[in-house]
Amino acid sequence: MKMIGITGGVGAGKSEILDHLQKNPRFLVRKADEIGHLVMKKGTPVFEKITALLGESVIGDDGNIDRRRMGGIIFKDPIITEKINGIIHPAVREYVISDKEQAERSGKYDIYFLEAALLIECGYGKICDGLWYIYADPEVRRKRLKISRGYSDEKIDDIMARQLPDAEFRKHCTAIIDNSGDIEETIKQLDSTISGYKG
């Protein structure tokens, strides 16, 4: 079973691509952000480490870590951000490795897809058979973010400034899917790229 990492900047349209991939019963699609939620749940080692570092003010009404509250704290402090990332990212990676091994043993899947914003930064290139960069023209991304999320230009500028530049994505990724146009054209590129990874 192959393992493919999917990444790209905010507004590139990764969700549409994942939705398409999930329609194939032979593909297992995982999102690092969702796994991050799982490894942070109450009672986990990650929960204990984060609450020890940030205090109980980050715990929400349901007893779990409130990611919005946590984000409000770590956004202002790069040192704390680094510490939190040092807790969460290794736990997510460990989960992914175990999950992939379990999926492979089941014999149900041909490809394990992992979507992560920090795929390159977290070193997933070392454990994936390929990294796919979902690209979209910056102006297209801006338009999507304004329509779908109501983001201001200032907020978009801030988010984009904190993400890898286009050249860095291209340097590390083994395939580039241009999602600047309509989804039908993107799916053609996607299916063509997939055909080289099956088996």
pTM of the predicted structure, to 2 decimals: 0.91
Distance CA 104, CA 45 (A): 26
pLDDT value, residue 198: 60
For residue 199, the model assigns a pLDDT of 46
Residue 71: predicted pLDDT: 87
Measuring CA to CA, which residue among 96, 78, 182, 175 is closest to residue 140? 182
User: For the residues 97-124, what does the mean pLDDT come to?
Assistant: 95
Q: Where are the alpha helices (DSSP H) in 31-106?
A: 32-39, 45-54, 67-74, 78-106
Determine which of 5-9, 25-29, 77-81 has the lowest per-residue pLDDT on average.
Answer: 77-81
Give residue 179's pLDDT band: very low, low, confident or very high (50, 70, 90): very high
Residue with tokens 């507004």: 11
Task: List the 111-115 sheet strands across, edge first.
Answer: 27-31, 111-115, 2-7, 130-135, 175-178
pLDDT, one tens digit per residue, over 61-72 is 999 999 989 988
**All domains of the chain, ordered by start, with CATH?**
1-26+110-194 (3.40.50.300), 33-109 (3.40.50.300)
User: How many angstroms separate the CA atoms of 11 and 149, rounded?
Assistant: 10
